[in-house]
Amino acid sequence: MTEFGKALGATETPIPGLILWDLPVHGDSRGWFKENWQREKMLAAGLPDFGPVQNNISFNDAAGTTRGIHAEPWDKWVSVATGRIFGAWVDLREGPTFGAVFTAEIDPSRAIFVPRGVGNSYQTLEPDTAYSYLVNDHWSPNATYSFLNLADETVAIDWPIPLADVEISAKDLAHPRLADVVPIPPKRILVTGASGQLGLALRSEFADSPHVEFASRADLDLASADLASARRWRDYEAIVNAAAYTAVDTAETPAGRSDAWTANVAGVSALARIATDHGITLVHVSSDYVFDGTSTRPYREDDPVSPLGVYGQTKAAADAIVSTVPRHYIIRTSWVIGAGKNFVRTMATLAERGTDPKVVSDQIGRLTFTDDIARGIRHLLKAGAAPGVYNLTSGGPSAAWSDVARAVFAAVGHDPARVADVTTAEYLAGSAGPVSPRPHNSVLDLSKIEATGFSVPDWTATLPDRARDSLRTG
């Protein structure tokens, strides 16, 4: 008999993410009423915002009808419309809880949230039982499913009505035992721009993760009209966009301006639509160039943007777009140093060649090594940190570019006094082509990301090895 008057509430189970819910049911002699799905209230109570797209009804004529055990690549909200069922759930996902079991009876006053990859099965306990389920994807023949035999001896489900006495399909009877089940893999992570400096660092950081895919522009063109159908996007939990137009000076030319807006805004906009439509977390890498550099303190995540040049304008526009995606991380960074051509390599090479450079002394910031960015991105995704903007640079003191150059000279065994200071104005006066304006203060406050448990190494401690390595690999 349906229990009336329960408060909306959740009960965790031994299977991570499988949550049993009590539903308020209001009834009298005429019958009963309940809110079977109420997004606002249920989100407030802790239900994931899983974004259902389809509602199915399963009607079972006779008591004992048994279905399952099926693990699908989507989340489900299962509730009973009439009657009563015995439910059994088995974790069929890759990981330490593979094979974990939970059972419970469900009537109209109870529902259960079944996460992707958890096998579900139901045995009706009363005639004319109907249960409904909301799912957050449409059925597809290309999706990955997994199945477990209802009579598997390892999980040993104690069915209220013996399986020998119930109605079961021949297909369900033929499912494999647990030892032969193919586990459901985790959702994928896609890294775009995987051939660039940050992309290479992300390849290294996620080298131990087979569910992470890497795509260069040749593999995935963000400007393509077919981007929305280029992947089965529901199979992805995150997109890390490491693709960007970073030629900040060339962006000041007519052709460069167009290319910068196409790559940094139109491409990001297309990814934002996909992420929003499919419940994907979008990780977007931003820049100190969104600020004008006039602040007298390190920039915080909530400081208003005020870009000086085209590149900064495109990054600020992309930030605004990504902020509309329900699940997003905007990573603000500065003075990035990665594989290939970079400031540290250039200074080390000049030192070895005997060239005494003049380096800007009135732009202040911190170096950011790409592997620190990659670690930070992985940390935010793994920790499930709150969506939003996070400053992420290497740690340590702020310094001028000329200070960094002197540190590089010293690290590779040369006299740092060979580096001379020059002002930005003096440097620009000697430039032959268009030059983007630079912020004078690029120091970013790291307290927000540090509060999530992430720590970054001091760039001054890391730099010497990087400088020496740049000569060996150059």
CA distance 324 to 268: 12
Report, as an integer, the average pLDDT of 358-374. Answer: 96
Query: Taking a C-beta distance cutoff of 8 angstroms, is the pair 389, 449 a contact?
Result: no
pLDDT of the residue at 331: 98
* Residue keyed to tokens 């400007």: 223
- Percent of the chain past pLDDT 70, that is, above it, reads 99
pTM: 0.89
Q: Which residue among the candidates 131, 133, 245, 299 is catalytic per the annotation? A: 133
pLDDT, tens digit, for every residue of 201-225? 999 999 999 999 999 988 998 888 8
Higher pLDDT, 137 or 399: 399
CA dihedral (143, 223, 321, 41) in degrees, to 10, reads -20
pLDDT at 209: 93
Instruction: Read off the pLDDT of each residue in 379-390 and give the average, rounded to a whole number.
Output: 96
| pLDDT tens digit sequence for 302-333 | 999 999 999 999 999 999 999 999 999 999 99
Tokens 């030059």 label which residue? 435
Q: What is the mean pLDDT of residues 256-278?
A: 95
- pLDDT higher than threshold 90 for residue 29: no
Q: Is residue 133 among the annotated active site residues? A: yes
pLDDT value, residue 142: 76
Q: How confident is the model at residue 461 (pLDDT cuts 50, 70, 90)?
A: very high
**Average confidence (pLDDT) over 169-191:** 94
Mean residue pLDDT across the chain: 93
Residue with tokens 């790409």: 370
Q: What share of the chain has pLDDT > 90, as a percent?
A: 84
Order of strands across the sheet with 388-391?
212-215, 188-192, 236-241, 281-287, 328-333, 388-391
Name the amino acid, one letter, at 105. Answer: E
Residue 4 binned pLDDT confidence (cut-offs 50, 70, 90): confident
Higher-pLDDT residue of 334, 1 = 334
Domains 9-180 and 188-473 belong to one CATH topology: no
Task: Supply the CATH classification number for the domain 188-473.
Answer: 3.40.50.720
What's the confidence (pLDDT) of residue 141?
77
pLDDT at 32: 85
**What's the confidence (pLDDT) of residue 1?**
58
Catalytic: which of 70, 145, 211, 379? 70
Question: Residue 31: pLDDT band by 50, 70, 90 thresholds?
Answer: confident
* Domains of the chain, residue spans: 9-180, 188-473
Which tens digit of pLDDT belongs to each residue from 61-114?
A: 999 999 999 999 999 999 999 999 999 999 999 999 999 999 999 999 999 999
What gap in Å lies between CA 370 and CA 372, rounded to an integer?
5
pLDDT at 474 (0 to 100): 57
* CA neighbor of 92 nearest in space, from 152, 24, 29: 152
- 361 falls in which pLDDT band (50, 70, 90)? very high
pLDDT of residue 428: 81
Top-tier CATH class for 9-180? mainly beta
Contacts of 468 (CB under 8 A, 6+ apart): 348, 411, 412
Respond yes or no: is residue 122 known to be catalytic: no
104-125 pLDDT tens trace: 999 999 999 999 999 999 999 9
In the beta sheet, which residues pair with residue 283? 240, 329
